[in-house]
């Protein structure tokens, strides 16, 4: 999906919601466990409930590969079920030497035809470039995260006066363009989002952390929106597990609708 297509969908739906499909078998409603493929059956109902309110879906690959071949099959069916109008992200956080990254890119752009894949920049340019070689595909690079260990490296002050995450953003942005590079920036520190925007004002940001992790949608929107909207705000647990009962899809519908309504106020 191109940047133009993504922006069109955002403005059409007045939403920049991304639903994270972090489907944990241990958290599925008991009646779903009776299905032949419980993970796909759950995802299918979540997609049906939320597709009118979101523009993207982000399966976290760890939840699927942990189930072995059955999990990869659930992922394949889930990806095929997502409407073509929606941006799809493989949250895989890959990144390795060039020839290995090339294989990862084949996996998530050809074998499982996602629009984007999350990648880690630690190993440098040759670990990212293979993901940028596909027309209409995106690399979403870890920038400033909000996990407890983020300060171990990301906030280190360099001799040039920049924080390490700022150097990563500035350097990686030069390897591609606003048409094929996005960056991950966590929602729980709005001041950090402003710092990110100061370095990369035009790039799209994938922003996790709103909902169960405590990030504020309003604070995120005020800190990170640009002229093209420029953000995808991810919510996973707050939507997926809004209920653990037979009404889980109805509650997911309500949660997604509520988030879309709040987002619409920020889209002219």
> Does the annotation mark 93 as catalytic?
yes
Number of helices followed by number of strands (H, E) in the chain: 11, 8
Q: How far apart are CA 105 and CA 114, in angstroms?
A: 10
Q: Kindly report the CA angle at 245 between 40 and 262, in degrees rounded to 5? A: 80
Residue 134's contacts (CB-CB under 8 Å, 6 or more residues apart) are: 105, 109
Q: Which of the residues 14, 44, 77, 93 is marked catalytic?
A: 93
Q: How far apart are CA 238 and CA 167, in angstroms?
A: 33
Tokens representing 103 are 């294989």
Q: How far apart are CA 50 and CA 265, in angstroms?
A: 19
Residue 218's contacts (CB-CB under 8 Å, 6 or more residues apart) are: 262
Residue 45: other Cβ atoms inside 10 A: 17
How many CA atoms lie less than 13 Å away from 91 in the CB half-sphere? 20
Q: How far apart are CA 197 and CA 217, in angstroms?
A: 16
CB 231 within 8 A of CB 221: yes
Q: Give the residue numbers marked as catalytic.
A: 93
């Amino acid at each position: 999906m191109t940047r133009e297509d993504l922006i069109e969908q955002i403005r059409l739906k007045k939403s920049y919601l991304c639903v994270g499909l972090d489907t944990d078998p241990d958290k599925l409603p008991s009646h779903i466990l009776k299905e032949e493929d419980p993970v796909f059956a759950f995802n299918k109902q979540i997609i049906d409930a939320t597709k009118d309110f979101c523009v993207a879906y982000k399966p976290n690959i760890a939840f699927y590969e942990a189930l072995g071949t059955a999990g990869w099959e659930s992922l394949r069916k889930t990806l095929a079920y997502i409407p073509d109008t929606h941006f799809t992200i493989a949250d895989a956080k890959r990144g390795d030497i060039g020839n290995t990254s090339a294989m990862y890119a084949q996996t998530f752009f050809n074998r499982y035809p996602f629009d984007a894949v999350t990648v880690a920049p630690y190993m440098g340019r040759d670990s990212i470039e293979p993901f940028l070689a596909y027309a209409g595909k995106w690399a979403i690079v870890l920038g400033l995260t909000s996990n407890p260990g983020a300060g171990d490296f990301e906030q280190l002050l360099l001799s040039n006066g920049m924080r390490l995450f700022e150097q990563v953003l500035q350097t990686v942005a030069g390897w591609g363009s606003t048409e094929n590079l996005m960056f991950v920036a966590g929602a729980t520190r709005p001041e950090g989002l402003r710092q990110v925007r100061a370095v990369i004002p035009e790039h799209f940001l994938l922003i996790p952390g709103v909902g169960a992790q405590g990030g504020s949608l309003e604070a995120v929107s005020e800190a990170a929106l640009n002229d093209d909207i420029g953000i995808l705000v991810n919510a996973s647990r707050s939507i997926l597990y809004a209920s653990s009962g037979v009404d889980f899809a109805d509650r997911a519908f309500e949660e997604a609708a509520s988030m879309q309504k709040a987002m619409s106020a920020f889209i002219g």
